[in-house]
């Protein structure tokens, strides 16, 4: 996990998204929404807030 500072001086962290979220959401009619919900829940469970998803990484604020 890499920590960086953004222009708002909030700690930004890059969290790897578990690969299993790809196959868990496979075939779902609104896959992007379900994938994002899984990722949001994952990062909230470890104490972060999701900012955006880039590839298989979640960009988060503490």
User: What number of residues does the chain have?
Assistant: 62
Asked whether the beta carbons of 18 and 8 are under 8 A apart, the reply is no
> What is the SS3 assignment for 53?
strand
The pTM (predicted TM-score) of the whole model is: 0.79
Tell me the pLDDT tens digit for each residue of 2-56.
Answer: 444 444 557 899 999 999 999 999 999 999 999 999 999 999 999 999 999 999 9
Q: Hey, where are the domains in the chain? A: 3-61
């Amino acid at each position: 996990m890499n920590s960086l500072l953004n222009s708002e001086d909030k700690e930004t962290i890059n969290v790897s998204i578990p690969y299993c979220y790809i196959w868990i959401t496979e075939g779902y009619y609104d896959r992007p929404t379900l994938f994002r919900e899984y990722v949001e829940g994952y990062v909230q469970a470890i104490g972060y807030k999701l900012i955006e998803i880039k590839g298989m990484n979640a960009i988060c604020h503490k």
